[in-house]
């Protein structure tokens, strides 16, 4: 049975209170969520000996999240990932966005003050918490009022995230959670020995600024092939042009999809020393696999240890980057009368 507990986490400069919602499901998995950015601040899970550790990267307090966060655990939107030129055209109208990537040339993760920096209203549920935010028309340049709900549910060792949204004007939308995982425990070192299976036959190559070229490239015969379980670090040092551009992995994978609606499994992760495992399912067509290439030792994590390169990895379920400017990519347009719905499930376990 899942339990929920709310407590104060801190306050914003204007006095707005931030809460922490703690979930526990009786399996040993515990999840902490804060209402600033809808951030997954901690996921504690047992190893093969029953010892618990926080397996997501995080920061020690609200001020650190406000001033130094690199999207750790946050809800990212309105548009997760990148939009080229910080602009797009929809129904013949051009929209200029807040440029916050590549020196302002592109937009990333919703802009200068995206969903990761907003206060979300929380409603506790029997098995989780529903977070709500209303984004006004024109926020960060995006058209239409957008009413968003992100629901975290914990049951049976699995964390389910349901995203829902409606709009009053045609707009574009791409939502994800930006958690960095380290199944050995945050701050314990790099994740290069984590073993990953990723069921994707192709990925979207990028230019030097992370913008997709538009190509769907086969993973076969490349360091991007994780269709069989492979250590994250096994080929991360190869001289493949896309590895060089990203300084590791930072690419959208095109997931195999058999049917719309239900979440489908696409990734398995195993950490050999602890025995912890993670299975991931989603309704989304893509996932950004990121090997934590920009972590440089300048951030001190929840446990008081610094985060260096590859201290965590991300599996950000999503529609493709720059879809508003790539008509052949799956559409991210949301119109009045439609309801955006997306689900991702992270299931945690152990093996001997």
- Catalytic site positions: 178, 316
Helix (H, G, I), strand (E, B) or coil at 76: strand
Q: Are strands 107-108 and 52-54 parallel, antiparallel or unpaired?
A: unpaired
- Identify the sign of the CA torsion 52, 55, 60, 66: negative
Tell me if residue 210 falls in helix, strand or coil: coil
Q: Which of 40, 56, 108, 34 is nearest to 77 (CA)?
A: 108
Residues 6+ apart with CB under 8 A from 342: 162, 163, 164, 175, 282, 283, 284, 317
How many angstroms separate the CA atoms of 315 and 322, rounded? 18
Q: Could you tell me if 320 and 252 are in contact, meaning their C-beta atoms sit under 8 angstroms apart? A: yes
Measure the CA–CA gap between 316 and 71, rounded to whole angstroms: 11
What are phi and psi for residue 154, nearest 5 degrees?
A: -120, 125
d(CA 41, CA 56): 7
Return the number of other C-beta atoms located less than 10 Å from residue 67's C-beta. Answer: 8
Whether the link from the prior residue into 290 is cis, omega within 30° of 0, is: no
Sheet containing 200-204, strands listed edge to edge, beginning at the edge strand earlier in sequence: 217-218, 200-204, 250-255, 286-290, 314-318
Distance CA(229)–CA(28), nearest Å, equals: 26
How far apart are alpha carbons 350 and 175 in whole angstroms?
29
Residues in the chain: 352
Task: Tell me the sheet residues that pair with 46.
Answer: 52
């Amino acid at each position: 049975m899942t339990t929920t507990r709310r407590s104060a986490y801190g306050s914003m400069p204007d006095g707005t209170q931030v809460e922490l919602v703690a979930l526990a499901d009786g399996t040993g998995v515990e999840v902490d969520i804060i209402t600033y950015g809808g951030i997954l601040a901690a996921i504690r899970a047992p190893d093969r000996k029953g010892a618990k550790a926080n397996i997501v990267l995080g920061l020690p307090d609200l001020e650190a999240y406000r001033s130094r966060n690199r999207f750790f655990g946050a809800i990212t939107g309105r548009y997760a990932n990148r939009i080229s030129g910080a602009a797009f055209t929809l129904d013949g109208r051009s929209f200029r966005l807040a440029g916050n990537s590549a020196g302002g040339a592109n937009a990333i993760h919703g802009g200068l003050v995206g969903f990761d920096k907003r206060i979300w209203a929380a409603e506790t549920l029997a098995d989780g918490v529903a977070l709500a935010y209303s984004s006004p028309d024109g926020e960060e340049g995006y058209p239409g009022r957008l009413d968003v709900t992100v629901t975290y549910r914990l049951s049976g060792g699995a964390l389910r995230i349901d995203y829902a949204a409606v709009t009053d004007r045609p707009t574009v939308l791409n939502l994800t959670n930006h958690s960095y995982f380290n199944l050995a425990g945050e701050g314990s070192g790099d994740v290069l020995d984590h073993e990953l299976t990723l069921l994707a036959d192709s990925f979207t190559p990028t230019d030097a600024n992370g913008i997709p070229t538009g190509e769907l490239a086969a993973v076969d015969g490349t360091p991007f092939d994780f269709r069989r379980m492979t250590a994250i670090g096994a080929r991360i040092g190869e001289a493949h042009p896309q590895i060089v551009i990203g300084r590791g992995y930072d690419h959208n994978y095109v997931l195999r999809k058999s049917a719309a609606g239900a979440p489908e499994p696409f990734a398995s992760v195993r950490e050999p020393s602890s025995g912890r495992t993670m299975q991931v399912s989603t309704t989304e067509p893509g996932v950004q696999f990121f090997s934590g290439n920009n972590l440089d030792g300048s951030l001190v994590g929840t446990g008081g240890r610094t985060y260096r390169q590859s201290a965590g990895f991300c599996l950000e379920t999503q529609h493709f980057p720059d879809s508003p400017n790539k008509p052949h990519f799956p559409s991210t347009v949301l119109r009045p009368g439609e309801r955006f719905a997306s689900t991702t499930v992270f299931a945690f376990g152990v093996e001997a």
